[in-house]
Amino acid sequence: MSPFSVDHKDFDNRIRLQTYFYFVEKGTAPTSRQLADTLFSTPAGIKDSFQRLANAHIFVLKPESGEIWMAMPFSAIKTQHRVSVGGRKYYANCAWDSLGIPSLRCPHAPGGSDALIRSRCEDCGEPIELEVKNGQVHGSGEVIHFAVPAAKWWDDIGFT
């Protein structure tokens, strides 16, 4: 590393964690300005970090603004996959991610959380409601379809 190189690893990890904690608390993503205020940085510095995290496939950014679109399993934009946990509401990016939100372990839910997942059948549009309780998922025989092979997920992460 040259004397002028900066190791962004620790900073980016703080941005990553602050973003996730913000999502857990508020149900959406923090803006670069909000994180800049919290972490004594600048919006440009935060956006640079967002970009590095996106390059590492940890975040997905909104193309028009460079702000956070996805911090998997959370989505910062409304989707058909809605997850309620402990009175808080979240949007997930896909079926897998909707099961991912109650899988997150944090100090107040070390074994994961009970949750209600509401989505729809992509074929007929009928509502789908699933319950996660005591570490088990309960539904009515629903299935999940992965359309794209694993090696190609990042070709278009918005369609998998």
Partner 1 sequence: MLFFRSEEHVNNWCRKKKIDKGAVFSLEQGWQLAQQWYHDRLDLRWRRKTTDEAQQLFETIGLTGDFWKLAAQSVSE
Specify the residue for token string 């090696």. Answer: 151
Residue 5 or 136: which CB sits closer to partner 1? 136
Instruction: Provide the greatest CA pair distance for the chain.
Output: 60
Q: Tell which one of 61, 72, 83, 85 touches partner 1 (CB under 8 A).
A: 72
Alpha-carbon gap, residue 102 to 105, rounded angstroms: 8
For the bound state, the minimum distance from the C-beta of residue 56 to partner 1, rounded and expressed in Å, comes to: 7
Kindly give, in sequence order, each residue whose CB lies less than 8 Å from that of residue 54, ignoring residues fewer than 6 positions away.
60, 61
Alpha-carbon gap, residue 46 to 132, rounded angstroms: 35
Specify the residue for token string 């309960």. Answer: 138
- Please list every residue from 96 through 125 that binds partner 1, using CB under 8 A: 96-97, 99-101, 103-106, 112, 119-124
# chain residues binding partner 1, by CB under 8 A: 51
Binding site for partner 1 (CB under 8 A): 13, 17, 20-21, 24, 56-58, 72-73, 81, 94-97, 99-101, 103-106, 112, 119-124, 126, 128, 130, 132, 136-137, 139-151, 153-154, 160
